[in-house]
Chain A
Amino acid sequence: MATWDSQPFSTQPLRAGYRRADVELQGVDQAVPSYEGRLFLNRAEADRETALAAEEGYLGSFHVFGKVFCWGEDERHCEQPDEREFDRRRYPNRYAKARVRTIDGLLRELVSKSGDQATLHIVAVLPEREDYAQYKAEDVLRFERLSIVTYA
């Protein structure tokens, strides 16, 4: 099972007033097997059997439609080249943005039950296929940045 755990982060900014809160992932690598990413707050032991319910710390899911892996053997085969002046070619994007908008009040409710710090956990649920069993967390949950963005 592929999981990702955050380091503890301050819940103080999440207690302030806001009208909307998003869990935002930037630079999500699509050269991975497709999966559903389930987000849990303060639930390090969550797994694919954990109920998708607020009382379990479930915040929502995002889905990555991946291309499994990059087949090219040469270095940077599937990487987008750096932009150059006069280069009009357009390269498909390997890295995507995913956003999980939390349900109104859910984050607030969960944070109110947290201490000064909280942790975020992702459970990557892959199709139950034999050739997918080999993938570990580092093969699947690949992204540059994860944050919780609030809008006043």
Chain B
Amino acid sequence: MNWSFIIFSLVKIALAIGVLHAIAAYAVLVERKVSAWIQDRVGPNRAAPPFVKYIPVLGPMLTRWGIFQPLADGLKFMLKEDFTPAGVRKMYFWLAPALAVIPSLLVIAVIPFGSQMGNQKMVIADLNVGILYTFGIVSLGVYGIVLAGYAANSKYPFLGGIRSSAQMISYEISMGMSVIPVFLIAGNLNLSQIISWQTTHGWLVIYAPLSFIIFIVASFAETNRTPFDLPEAETELVGGYHTEYGSMKFALFFLAEYSNMVATSGMMVTLFFGGWTLPFWGLDQPAHSLGIGILQILIFLVKVCALMVLFIWVRWMFPRFRYDQLMDLGWRRFVPLALVNILITAVILWMKS
């Protein structure tokens, strides 16, 4: 423990959270734009600060892309009245949004988002039990939602909270078991080591495609995205667990959902798509110059964004599962499938050795 470690860690934390928030904000924009394109619409193309229209070509173009929409959204959330309905359990009501956001921010601590810059590793905490930490934290995320549903003292949020507790706990099991083959193959729980294993052997998605499929489906369920968005099912439960929330508290739930998406995408990139590496141009080795270091961070971000687009695309493609179908899929399909996957991988590895 020395000062430079603390300072560099704080800088990395600040940068990572800043970038995470920026991605989350712009993911909302991408969500709205992609949904618009899929539904033959235009999407947000008006919001702009007043001075932008005086910038010759760029200003109107950026406005049409909706670049300033997230700023307007954020400002709106900040300025709205922070309303607490009568009859809520105040302490839990206030605690719930924080409990939803914190785990989603904590997950990125162990994800290596770049190789190194100078002699600083581009990961906030290079834990040897990285993935265990992640699953421990991710499972805390459900408390925010359950508490929100409970504290609101209202029927729809309560139903949303119940649904989410059942759903997230169910899918956590298949999610956790789906990655065991990955660690069997790579032989390590440290995410940086898994990335370096992938540089020599190729991306793990080739070795464990079934794991990837189970993991991505489970992460849709974990982040409450369609087709598993039962906790917030707008058509059934008004708004689900966040029905009674408004202004910045609602924004925190929103932020939590998108941060969760970023974190799970980052996790998938790390586990299955080689993290910050690319298999050519020598980009799979830790950087020796600042430029390469930044390039590798960008590679990581591009991969994350690609997966985010997949998340968003899927949302506007599929209808919602019925509750029993969701449970059926989770417990009777994915859990056995994940178990078989572990078994087969283990047997193959045993025969090879």
| A in complex with B | no
